[in-house]
Amino acid sequence: MEIGRLVRKQTQPGWAPTTRGGGRRRPLALALGRLSSRRPVRCRCLAAMQTSPPPPSVRTVSIPFSDLKERDRDLSGKIEEGLGPNGLGIISIADVPGFPVLRKTLLRLAPKVANLPEDVKKELEDPDSRFNFGWSHGKEKLESGKLDTFKGSFYANPILDAPTTDDVLVRRYPSYCRTNIWPASHLPELEIAFKALGKLMLEVGLMLAHHCDRYVMQQGVGPYDGESLEQTIASSRCHKGRLLYYYPRQFSKQEEGGSVSSWCGWHTDHGSLTGLTCALFTKNSMEIPCPDSAAGLYIRTRDDKVVKVTFEENELAYQVGETTEILSRGRLCATPHCVKAPSSENASNVDRSTFAMFMQPDWDEKLKFPSEIPYHQELIPPNGTLTFGEYSERLVNKYYQGKT
């Protein structure tokens, strides 16, 4: 299914000003100075993480799907509360039709992928994509600089099996442009389940993006000529799904010391929106509730507090990425987050499966980074302009083994 078909043919002023005339794109006008007299909103927290007392638990702001699908409904209050400058950078959607079944169908396959024979998993690896297609384990670097053996991942584009046939683009942007690799002979049901959940999460994400556009323009950003967040996501060919399997703690070769980032280190997503499922825990192949109330997703807030974030099992959650924060001039804010492993005495032999859907601009979308946004300044050239493909490839080089 072509991604463009997911968007209604309604026009709306955009706050991400870019044009597609004659096959060429203008740089996105991202400078904060274009907010006229408004002061730029600064969202990044720079101080050290607090470690005591134990972080409190906070519920996500939730929007019913029945409200989300109404394009004219005013959800600006919810959007601001969850994703705005004082929010957690995450929001959840309740009662999405079909989601509970699709979630469990895919997440139950994560242990099966991780436990495929080693020679089969080797065939599913794609080093030329920097392990951004197919199977990946022990390739990503943790915040400590060590290789991450805590979790294994299976990556694929759930919308397009072959995003492009242009060999030049495939060589230039292998992380996005190479073809999917499926274990058709050993686990054929994976492709069906992966694509079904990924497409649903994209469709719901586009609905959320529409309401984000309305909120941002209410804040004085836009309207401009060009594309909205919704249109930017809908026209992209490089969305990526990631099925994650977190190994039981005693199976890891590394010591993690019980920190809040023991299962996944602190990071901020660099795309537009990231869709998340609630995790599925199993012990000795039996599904169980999370054995440790302190385990799960943690977020660092605007005022540098660390909180545990929860949402219901059958809710879809969405986090803002850095690119959206930049495009919205700080009206929508991305937050650093991590995952803590269970550490109670009941956590032995417990694993965790989850799925993330990364929605992001097309690889040739030009981004102009304002100096006021202090993200990865060492990666940005003096003119402050990179395509999204160039920007993301430079980030990949920081966290994965491979080309430099």
pLDDT score, position 294: 84
Q: Average pLDDT over the chain, rounded to whole?
A: 81
Q: Can you give the residue ranges of every domain in the chain?
A: 57-361
314 alpha carbon, distance to own chain's centre: 18
List the single range of 11-25, 198-212, 319-333 with lowest mean pLDDT.
11-25
pTM for this prediction? 0.82
List the single range of 13-22, 125-134, 306-315 with lowest mean pLDDT.
13-22
CB 29 within 8 A of CB 17: yes
SS3 state at 56: coil
SS3 state at 169: helix
Q: How far is it, in rounded angstroms, from Cα 324 to Cα 43?
A: 12
pLDDT score, position 398: 66
Question: What's the whole-number mean pLDDT along residues 235-246?
Answer: 95
Short-list 143, 155, 153, CA closest to 352? 153
**φ, ψ dihedrals at 85, nearest 5°:** -60, -25
SS3 state at 214: helix
CB 306 within 8 A of CB 335: no
Q: How far is it, in rounded angstroms, from Cα 191 to Cα 99?
A: 17
Give the residue, 365 or 159, on which the prediction is more confident: 159
pLDDT beyond 60 at 31? no
Reading the block at residue 18, the tokens are 């870019």
pLDDT score, position 348: 80
Angle between helix axes 99-107 and 189-218 (nearest 10 degrees) is 130
pLDDT beyond 90 at 382? no
pLDDT score, position 113: 97
List the single range of 151-160, 330-339, 355-364 with lowest mean pLDDT.
330-339
pLDDT beyond 70 at 371? no
Dihedral in degrees, nearest 10, Cα atoms 126, 132, 137, 142: 140
pLDDT score, position 291: 87
Reading the block at residue 82, the tokens are 């969850």
Q: What share of the chain is helix, strand, coil (3-state, %, to 5)?
A: 30, 20, 50
pLDDT beyond 50 at 334? yes
pLDDT score, position 214: 93
Question: What's the whole-number mean pLDDT along residues 88-103?
Answer: 97
pLDDT band at 396 (very low <50, low <70, confident <90, very high): low
Q: How far is it, in rounded angstroms, from Cα 384 to Cα 314?
A: 41
Using a CB cutoff of 8 Å and minimum separation of 24, what contacts does 395-399 make?
A: 395/270, 396/130, 396/132, 396/175, 397/130, 398/141, 399/140, 399/141
Q: In terms of DSSP bridges, do strands 57-59 and 306-310 run parallel, antiparallel, or are they unpaired?
A: parallel
Q: What are the tens digits of pLDDT across the range 156-175?
A: 999 999 999 999 999 999 98
pLDDT score, position 38: 39
Question: What's the whole-number mean pLDDT along residues 190-207?
Answer: 98
Give the residue, 35 or 243, on which the prediction is more confident: 243
**CATH number of 57-361, picked from 3.30.420.40, 3.30.160.270, 1.10.1040.10, 2.60.120.330:** 2.60.120.330
Q: Which amino acid is at 186?
A: H
Instruction: Give first-to-last CA distance, the chain, whole Å.
Output: 34
Q: In terms of DSSP bridges, do strands 306-310 and 296-300 run parallel, antiparallel, or are they unpaired?
A: antiparallel
